[in-house]
Amino acid sequence: MTKKEKVSFVMEELDRLYPEIPIPLDHKDPYTLLIAVLLSAQSTDVRVNQITPLLCKKADTPQQMIKLSVEQIRDIIKPVGLSPMKSKGIYGLSHILINEHQGKVPKSFEALEALPAVGHKTASVVMSQAFGVPAFPVDTHIHRLMYRWGLSNGKSVVQTERDAKRLFPKNKWNELHLQIIWYGREYCPARGWNVQNDIITSTIGRKSVIKKQIKS
């Protein structure tokens, strides 16, 4: 299969499997999404969705968050891991949002990535899911699948993001990155992967082999 054929097949299958795409992290507005995404680093969405409501019950706006101490935030979010760094990040970014952005989450990659503990992936998720701006946040599932599907070389998430944006239509980025994440969790996990259950990977592999045999 050519890359163009692979891209078309992937989009068709993902649309068939996931016509409706749930958002993995529970939130009610851009600020609570930003907090949830920050908490999700090296944690699971299930755990984050358990902890975010506990934190938001105490503070779900930047104005309320800065009334808590870093230690109080850390005690609440401990179960998600990396709590020392994350608690300082949440406290610090809440101050910056109040002082520099009228208490609102900014709608630009540059402003988001300037916030404490917010990297490119976090900014991309917020821009995509909170504001509907085309973005392609690459997590471990997307990085793994783009490589297995022969759509990227797997050397870095930076390159994987570039390849995804180059190959897939821009108006599909926001839904596709979520579809690929759900597909990776359900059909193509990092551990215990069974290629027979992985419809897309096995089909791409089979058709690619057939095409090579025809050429030879």
Q: What mean pLDDT do residues 4-13 have?
A: 96
Q: What is the pLDDT of residues 181-208, one digit of tens each?
A: 999 999 988 787 787 788 899 999 887 6
| Domain 3-21+137-215 grouped into CATH 1.10.1670.10 | yes
| Torsion, CA 201, CA 204, CA 209, CA 212, rounded to 10 | -140
Domain ranges of the chain: 3-21+137-215, 30-129
pLDDT exceeds 80 at position 169:
yes
Determine whether 15 is an active site residue.
no
Active-site choice (6, 86, 121, 198): 121
Determine whether 121 is an active site residue.
yes
Q: What is the pLDDT of residues 35-90, one digit of tens each?
A: 999 999 999 999 999 999 999 999 999 999 999 999 999 999 999 999 999 999 99
Amino acid letter for position 194: N
Q: What mean pLDDT do residues 160-185 have?
A: 97
Active-site choice (15, 26, 139, 165): 139
Architecture in CATH of 30-129: Orthogonal Bundle (1.10)
